[in-house]
Amino acid sequence: MRQALILRARAARVVARVLEGGALDEALHLDRERHGRHGLVDELAIGAVRQALGLGQIIDPLLARPLKARDTDVRALMLIGLYQARDLDTPAEVAVSSAVAATEALRKDWAKGLVNAVLRGAVADQRIVTGTPLNHPHWLVERLRAAWPAQWPAILGANDTQAPLSLRVAEPHDRAPILEALTAQGLAAHAHAHVATALVVTGAGVKVGELPGFAAGLVTVQDAGAQLAAPLLDPQPGDTVLDACAAPGGKTLHLASFCPQARITAVDRDARRLARLAENIARMGSASPITVRELDLTSTAPEGRFARILLDAPCSGSGVIRRHPDIKLLRRAADMPALVDRQRILLDRLWTSLAPGGTLLYVTCSILPEENEDQIAAFLARTPHAREHPIALPWALARAHGVQLLPGAEETDGFYYARLSKSPA
């Protein structure tokens, strides 16, 4: 019993860091470094963050006054308790009593009465049965409604679910034996319908490090939609390839696997993320030489010219919310102009590093037009030697420029792709 309360307190501290503005991945990483990984902590923390906006609509009216900043962990504990009662089918009495008892593990005994009163009122709210009408920030709902008038309810629904585990095998011919090994382990897995290197694993409790072929570098975690980058860029033997904004390196390694004879330079401005890229290169191995450099491309151009450039641009992340639910809490409408401006700067700067006749693939994990087709339309209008090469993906949504994948629609996250070429000199 004591251990279960400690685990709930750990989850509450993780959620509190997100409520205070921290990234969920970093908060979980810090907890695991200190205490070791535990499935219950992950389940409670990730689930409570995913549902935090909707759960907060039930909890907030029951608070006589807002909690002080130093007591964000108490609010997090309330979110976890209500999440258990509403979304995990935990009996209400158990969810409430567990949250109340866990205040001791947070060393906030004074909050027992408050947590008890608020959660008892919350579990009596009819919305715990019917669900809350909005679990996304209003600004994002309005933009999705405008951009996707037919699809926006399905997008919101997908964002509130846990995405399946998507895997990339080293080569398409590896997929059948890896799939057989997964099913032999009792895992529910199937081949992706459209992406030849992708497998989809459903169900909870999957330990990535124990997946067949993972330690040997035969399989890695990568969304099926992200696996389109390498074949769409299509590097050829001897090509110089720049992977801009490369960390943590999933697409870099796929490029190296796709064309081992290419010469790849992977660039990112974040030293910590580059360290993860180096770790992934070491685990996966690569027949293609990969040069890793720390560089801020918004201020400094890379050396040389490249036949192929992959620009996986920084963006809102609006297409990957189901994997990163903290985006709903952390991203603001006010962030968008700076993101769009940075994308514009990167496009213009990298274009000067593209060799005549070369190809640039523009990618985002966004589903907002201002970061995607609008950005490409503006670039083409101001860049005389740029041409768009149509992308033939019948199962994706064709836009005025490029193609769009929507989260969950084809067992992928939400990705945008546009392929551009520079006229020969």
- Annotated catalytic residue 315: no
Cα torsion for 280, 281, 287, 293, to the nearest 10°? 140
Structure-token pair, residue 425: 């000199």
Contacts of 186-191 with C-beta under 8 Å, sequence gap 24+, read none
* Beta-strand runs (E) in 129-250: 165-169, 188-191, 198-202, 219-221, 240-244
Beta bridge partners of residue 292, listed in sequence order: 266
Print burial letters for 50-67: b (CB count within 10 Å at least 16), e (below 16): bbbbbbbebbeebeeeee
Looking at residue 303, the DSSP 8-state letter turns out to be: S
- What distance in Å separates the CA atoms of residue 258 and residue 234, rounded to the nearest whole number? 8
- What distance in Å separates the CA atoms of residue 252 and residue 243, rounded to the nearest whole number? 6
In one-letter notation, the amino acid at residue 404 is Q
Catalytic residue, candidates 245, 259, 315, 365: 365
Q: Where are the alpha helices (DSSP H) in 218-335?
A: 229-233, 250-258, 271-284, 327-330
Burial of 270 (0-12, 13-18, 19+ CB in 10 A): middle
H helix count then E strand count, the chain: 17, 13
* Active site residues per annotation: 365
